[in-house]
Amino acid sequence: MVKHIFKIISSITLLVWLSLSPSAYALTKLTASIDNNPVMSNESIVLTVTADDSVDREDLDTSVLLTDFVVARTEVSSNTSIVNFSTSRTTRWQIVLIPRKTGNLVIPALQVDGNYSDAISVQVLPPNSKQGTLQQDIFITAELSKDEVYVQQLVTLTVKLHISVQLQQASLTEPTLTGATIIQIGKDQESEGIINGKRYRLIERTYAITPEQSGKLSVVSPMFSGEIMVQSRRRSGFLNFGDTKPVNILGEKLELNVLPIPDSYDNNASWLPSEILTLHQEWQPSSDEFTVGEPITRTITLTAAGLSKEQLPKIVMTAPKGIKVYPDQAQLHANLNKERLVSQKKQNFAIVASKPGQYVLPKITIAWWNTVTNKLQHATLPEQIIKVLPNPDAVNTVPALTAADMLTETTELKDDATISTAQTIVIEKATWLQWLFLGLWLITLIAWFTHIYYLKRSTTATGSAKVKRGVNNHYLALMAACKQGNAEQVLALVVPWVDSLQSQRDIGTLADALTVVANDNFTTAINNIQQQLYGKNATASHWQGSELLKIIQTINADNINTESMSALHLNPA
């Protein structure tokens, strides 16, 4: 009994080995079929080639298909099955083809190991064919906003993908155009619609194309690649199996005529081809008269159609002497409006006048090429005249000093001094008043010589004694403003304080004051105050003046010491 079972097992093993042996079977048949006929010119078909044996995937030569078709992708699978000790092997190629032209095309016979498939005739319909449109499950439409543009003029490409079947997976390539930059605008828009009685899911995508060279160019539309669900022939009791089929859809090719820059255009100006370009301005506060030290905000907006926001030129604002301009970071925006890209640049300029007067701000002009009229045009903001009045609070108003402020002062105060306007008195006849004034002048002169004498002796004896002079009202007010954190008052008092430090130069503007002081820390501190007062993110309400106070005290003390040492080396006449 055991021997009988052993013989049966040996026989089965031999049969299986013979059935699996490579030499047991050989390729005898090669078949080919397509999944769809007729087909649209931009729609793919699936060519299935089956060999009745296991062969290498490279044994099938598909180069003969490239004459009339684009080979999108190829998938190869092998299968081996044993039924009642009968072994069958198959090798299957699924080749996705896209027709290159319309009309009656022929898929030529393919061969593997001397076996040939039958040739297949394919009817390729044009994209606008009614018959093709009715039977399409997926198709792509593409449209340019203009067929003719100038070099560097933006044109939009709108791509719409129509889907009426269930997708397993899908992807959409980007359009291509040699000699141009292409970027997607915004996000995909999804909607639904009915075309020829068939419901489609619509996915819309918009691109901005900027050609960088002139001539006739071809825009290659995106290609859709995916797998769709199809009804399977396999049925098992209560279940219906679903299979997938690879699909590739190619959008139509579009022609674009790109014109060169006209010879009549100004070569010194930036090339800005646009349908419309405008300049607009706003003032805050909206007034024709301002005061010294008052911040003025000028907002200039540049709007252009048919240009990307990266193409918008820089807005340059110049100002005469006596006015400082602080530009903020420009804000860029772009929106798609009726298949036309509208870009905008918005920039704020903070303007501060350092002395009163009437100022003329030069006009701002931007040259551009009107693509509608094909003419050179200029967008212009006319010159602006602003009147700056004196600030009554800049010099006359002195912040009150508290007792704590007075205790922290390190500089001695002399007797109260008043500033009066010098008057010339003409005395036509000698009187006793002349002799009185002469005597007082001699007494003052003797007292001054005596003061200098003792001052020299004191300096020589100590070697490091410092002479201190009286502190004027501007210095006291400036220190008080720093301690109170009043940034605007600090800027208003800097000019009169620096002017009081020296008498060789008339200090009229904040720029003059920074030049005379020539202290990097002082300049940085003042610039920071201006940015906090007039910059985009104003934070002057939180400004602390303790650091600037130390810098001002140091500058004031150094100035006193310098003048004192100079006086010691001069011999009074």
Q: Answer yes or no: do 556 and 442 share one domain.
A: yes
Give domain status of residue 53, yes or no: yes
Q: Answer yes or no: do 563 and 442 share one domain.
A: yes
Give domain status of residue 11, yes or no: no
Q: How far is 312 from 343, CA to CA, in rounded Å? A: 8
Q: How far is 15 from 77, CA to CA, in rounded Å? A: 26
3-state secondary structure of 176: strand
Note the pLDDT of residue 540: 55
Domain end point (choices 79, 94, 127) = 127
Q: Answer yes or no: do 476 and 502 share one domain.
A: yes
Residue-number span of the structural domain to which 45 is assigned: 23-127
Q: Answer yes or no: do 380 and 498 share one domain.
A: no
Q: Answer yes or no: do 471 and 383 share one domain.
A: no
The token pair at 320 is 């005469």
Q: Answer yes or no: do 145 and 253 share one domain.
A: yes
Q: Which residues of the chain have pLDDT under 70?
A: 1-25, 85, 127-135, 231-242, 338, 393-438, 440-441, 445, 447-472, 503-504, 535-541, 560-573
Q: Which long-range contacts (CB under 8 A, 24 or more apart) does 315-322 make?
A: 315/345, 315/347, 315/364, 316/364, 317/349, 317/361, 317/364, 318/361, 318/362, 319/351, 319/359, 319/361, 320/359, 320/360, 320/361, 321/509, 322/353, 322/354, 322/355, 322/357, 322/359, 322/509
Give domain status of residue 350, yes or no: yes
Q: Answer yes or no: do 448 and 559 share one domain.
A: yes
Note the pLDDT of residue 417: 37
Q: Answer yes or no: do 121 and 142 share one domain.
A: no
Domain end point (choices 199, 233, 259) = 259
* Burial 247-277, CB ≥16 within 10 A → b, else e: bbbbbbebebebbeeeeebeeeeebbbbbbb
Q: Answer yes or no: do 531 and 557 share one domain.
A: yes
Q: Answer yes or no: do 91 and 61 share one domain.
A: yes
Q: How far is 204 from 159, CA to CA, in rounded Å? A: 6
The pTM score is: 0.58
Q: Answer yes or no: do 299 and 208 share one domain.
A: no
Give domain status of residue 549, yes or no: yes
Give domain status of residue 94, yes or no: yes
Going by DSSP bridges, is the β-strand pair 155-163/138-144 parallel, antiparallel, or unpaired? antiparallel
Note the pLDDT of residue 503: 63
To 10 degrees, the CA torsion angle through 47, 52, 56, 60? -40
Residue with tokens 């006048």: 353
Residue pLDDT, tens place only, 53-81: 888 878 888 888 888 888 888 888 888 77
Which candidate, 32, 73, 81, 29, places its Cα nearest to that of 55? 29
Work out how many domains the chain is built from and give that number. Answer: 4
Domain end point (choices 108, 127, 146) = 127
Q: Answer yes or no: do 280 and 379 share one domain.
A: yes
Give domain status of residue 179, yes or no: yes
Going by DSSP bridges, is the β-strand pair 69-83/86-99 parallel, antiparallel, or unpaired? antiparallel
Note the pLDDT of residue 399: 45
Q: What is the CATH number of the domain that holds 36?
A: 2.60.40
Note the pLDDT of residue 60: 86
